[in-house]
Structure 1
Amino acid sequence: MRPEGMSEVENTVRDVLRDVLGLSEDRVATFDAETPLFGALPELDSLAVAGVLTEMEDRLGILIEDDEVDGEMLESFGALTRFATQKALG
C-alpha cells in the first residue's frame, strides 16, 4: 500500500514507533520534527531499529537498503519522516 501524501507517511511513522517501541499514543502524538530519536529514546536501541525499519517497509510498501540506514536518518522524528516520505512518494 503506497501512501497518498506526506501526512499519511508521518502518521504511519508515528504508528510504527508506537507499535514497535511500545510507546503511548499520547507520547508519540507530541513528536515534532525536532524530537530526537536514536540515543534519546531508550526504547529505540539497535535491535529495535531493525523492527522499526521492517515495519515501515511493510506498512509503506517500500524497500530500505542497508546502505541507506545511518545515524542522520534516525536522529530525529523529522529526519525519519523525511526519509520515509522520500522512499514512499519519491
Structure 2
Amino acid sequence: MDIQNEVLAILDDVLSLKGRALEFDASTPLLGAVPELDSMAVVGVINMLEERFGFYVEDDEIDGATFATVGTLVEFVAGKTA
C-alpha cells in the first residue's frame, strides 16, 4: 500500500478537491495553504485516516505541525501504522 497516495485520496475526498490533491507531492503545504482545510476538515481527515488505516488518534498526538505538508501528514500516518 502506498501511504502517500492513500493520504492524497483522502484529502481529495474530504476536502472535495475534485482531483487537485492527486497532484500534490510531499513538500506541498497544507494547513494555511489549502483554504478547504479548516478545523472541521482536519477532523474529517483524521476520521477518514483512522477508518482507512485502522488506528486511533488521541487528542494530544496531533497538532498543526502534523498538517504542515503532505509529507508531515504521511510521516504521521506511517508512524501510526508501523
- For this structure pair, what is the TM-score category when the shorter chain's length is used for normalisation? over 0.9
CA distance in 2, matches of 1:69, 1:14: 18
Structure 1 segments of 4 or more deviating over 2 A? none
Q: CA offset at residue 70 of structure 1?
A: 0.6
Residue 67 of structure 1 corresponds to 60
Matches within 5 A, 1:16-55: 16-25=10-19, 27-55=20-48
Q: Once the 2 structures are TM-superposed, how far is the Cα of residue 12 of structure 1 from its aligned partner?
A: 1.3
Tell me which amino acid in the other structure corresponds to 2:24. F
Identity of aligned residues (%): 46
Shift of 1:49: 0.4
Number of equivalenced pairs? 82
Amino acid at match of 1:21: L
Q: Report how far residue 24 of structure 1 moved.
A: 2.0
TM-score (norm 2): 0.93
TM-score w.r.t. length of structure 1: 0.86
> Retained in 2: the 8 A contact 1:21–1:48?
yes
Q: Which amino acid aligns with 2:64?
A: G
Asked if structure 2 preserves the Cα contact closer than 8 Å seen for 1:12 and 1:60, the reply is: no
| C-alpha separation in 1, matches of 2:61 and 2:72 | 13
2:8 pairs with 1:14: yes
In structure 2, C-alpha distance between the alignment counterparts of 1:66 and 1:86, rounded to whole Å = 16
The CA RMSD measured in Å over matched residues stands at 1.0
